[in-house]
Amino acid sequence: MVSRAERGPVADWFWTIDRFFLATFILLMGVGFMLSFAASPPVAERLGLDSFHFVKRHALFLLPSLAVMVGISFLSPRQVRRAAIILLGVSLGMMVLVLFVGQEVKGSLRWISIAGISIQPSEFMKPAFVVVCAWLFSEHARQPEIPGNLFAILLFGIVGALLVAQPDLGQTILTTAVWGGMFFMAGMPWLWIIVLAGAAVGGFFVAYTMLPHVAGRIDRFLTGEGDTFQVDTAREAIIRGDWFGRGPGEGVVKRIIPDSHTDFVFSVAAEEFGIVFCMAIVLIFSFLVMRGLSHAFRERNDFNRFAVAGLVLQLGIQSMINIGVNLELLPAKGMTLPLISYGGSSMVAICVTAGFILALTRHRPEKRAVERSLFRSGVGLPAE
SS (H, E, C) the chain: CCCCCCCCHHHHHHHHCCHHHHHHHHHHHHHHHHHHHHHHHHHHHHCCCCCCHHHHHHHHHHHHHHHHHHHHHCCCHHHHHHHHHHHHHHHHHHHHHHHHHCEEECCEEEEEEECCEEECHHHHHHHHHHHHHHHHHHHHHHCCCCCHHHHHHHHHHHHHHHHHHCCCHHHHHHHHHHHHHHHHHCCCCHHHHHHHHHHHHHHHHHHHHHCHHHHHHHHHHHHCCCCCHHHHHHHHHHHHHCCCCCCCCCCCHHHHCCCCCCCCHHHHHHHHHHHHHHHHHHHHHHHHHHHHHHHHHHCCCHHHHHHHHHHHHHHHHHHHHHHHHHCCCCCCCCCCCCCCCCCHHHHHHHHHHHHHHHHHCCCCHHHHHHHHHHHHHCCCCCCC
Give me the percent of the chain exceeding a pLDDT of 70: 90
CA distance 317 to 177: 8
Q: What is the pLDDT of residue 5?
A: 55
Q: Evaluate if residue 39 carries a pLDDT over 90.
A: no
Number of other residues whose CB lies within 10 A of the CB of residue 349: 27
Q: Which of 44-58, 331-345, 359-373 has the lowest mean pLDDT?
A: 359-373
Q: Please, which pLDDT band fits residue 329 given cuts at 50, 70 and 90?
A: confident
Q: Which of 219-223, 248-252, 305-309, 366-370 has the lowest mean pLDDT?
A: 366-370
Q: Which residue has the higher pLDDT, 262 or 370?
A: 262
Q: Which of 192-196, 294-298, 340-344 has the lowest mean pLDDT?
A: 192-196
Q: Please, which pLDDT band fits residue 380 given cuts at 50, 70 and 90?
A: very low
Residue 224, phi then psi, degrees to nearest 5: 75, 10
Q: Which residue has the higher pLDDT, 196 or 264?
A: 264
Q: What is the pLDDT of residue 105?
A: 67
CA dihedral sign of residues 224, 229, 231, 235: positive
Q: Please, which pLDDT band fits residue 200 given cuts at 50, 70 and 90?
A: confident
Q: Evaluate if residue 148 carries a pLDDT over 70.
A: yes
Give me the percent of the chain exceeding a pLDDT of 90: 42
Please state the rounded mean pLDDT for residues 264-275.
91
Nearest to 172 by CA among 206, 138, 219, 144: 206
Q: What is the pLDDT of residue 107?
A: 62
Q: Which of 36-50, 99-113, 266-280 has the lowest mean pLDDT?
A: 99-113
CA distance 342 to 9: 33
Q: What is the pLDDT of residue 382?
A: 47
Q: Evaluate if residue 60 carries a pLDDT over 60.
A: yes
Please state the rounded mean pLDDT for residues 175-183.
92
Contacts of 133-137 with CB under 8 Å at 24 or more apart are 133/179, 133/182, 133/306, 133/310, 134/182, 134/303, 134/306, 134/307, 134/310, 135/81, 135/84, 135/303, 135/307, 137/182, 137/183, 137/185, 137/186, 137/302, 137/306
CA distance 179 to 324: 21
Q: Evaluate if residue 227 carries a pLDDT over 90.
A: no
Cis bond before residue 144 (omega within 30° of 0):
no
